[in-house]
Amino acid sequence: MRAIYSCAALVAALALTSPADAQYRMEWGMDAAAVFGFGDVSTVDVDFPASRIRLGFFRPGSRLEPESAVGFSFKDTEGTDGIWTYAVQVAALYHFQPVRQVPANRGAVTAESFSPFVRPFIEFRGFTSGDDDDDNNDNVDDSDVIFGAGIGTRLRWRQDLAWRFEANLGYGFDNEALRVGLAAGLSFFPR
């Protein structure tokens, strides 16, 4: 049942970030991430080369960029049941300066190359493990809602490509854990 809720949340996240007219530009991206959880049970999650894919829309000259992101992974060890993890996130980037089209600068880093932002988000994260047909009924399913915010920058590399770096804090309400995250990724701006 939780998988149905997760799919519904994904559809809602994508609908919230759909462009209203053709003047919007898209930002496709993927991020590698390290997340450190501090709570009753401390955790460390490192995902490389990509922990999630994201899609955002912005209008050149504006400061706001709605964004949604999803991440799925499967881990299995011999003799144990596999674990599916999922994360669905809805966010909004607020750029400190209006987003504009920056021409390719052939590798030179200039002040116009940087686009700093702050990004509040809500994330639905969970995992499922076990076999429904198992006689021991050891199926494990857990989920959490995380509220947080990050601060970061995009560094234009070319007109249609940019590096993206972010540090963020989030709080998971189910397991009452503070999460510190670091992300580095690549963004593509199709024409």
Q: Domains in the chain, start-ordered, CATH in brackets?
A: 2-188 (2.40.160.20)
pTM above 0.95, yes or no: no
Which of 88, 116, 101, 117 lies closest to 24 in space, CA to CA? 101
Question: Strand, coil or helix: what is 61?
Answer: coil
Q: Distance between CA 17 and CA 183 in Å, rounded?
A: 21
Q: Of all residues in the chain, what percent carry a pLDDT higher than 90?
A: 38
pLDDT 10s digits, 37-85:
888 778 888 888 888 999 999 888 889 999 999 998 887 767 777 788 8
Terminal Cα-to-Cα distance of the chain (whole angstroms): 39
Question: Strand, coil or helix: what is 113?
Answer: helix
Q: Distance between CA 163 and CA 71 in Å, rounded?
A: 19
Confidence class of residue 1 from pLDDT cuts 50, 70 and 90?
A: very low
Round the CA-based radius of gyration of the chain to a whole number and report it.
18
pLDDT of residue 95 exceeding 70: yes
Question: In this structure, are residues 189 and 25 in contact, taking their beta carbons and an 8 Å threshold?
Answer: yes
Q: Token digits for 41?
A: 């049970």
Q: Token digits for 122?
A: 């809500």
185: Cβ–Cβ under 8 A, 6 or more apart, which residues?
Answer: 29, 30, 31, 32, 50, 54, 163, 164, 165
Q: Distance between CA 157 and CA 112 in Å, rounded?
A: 11
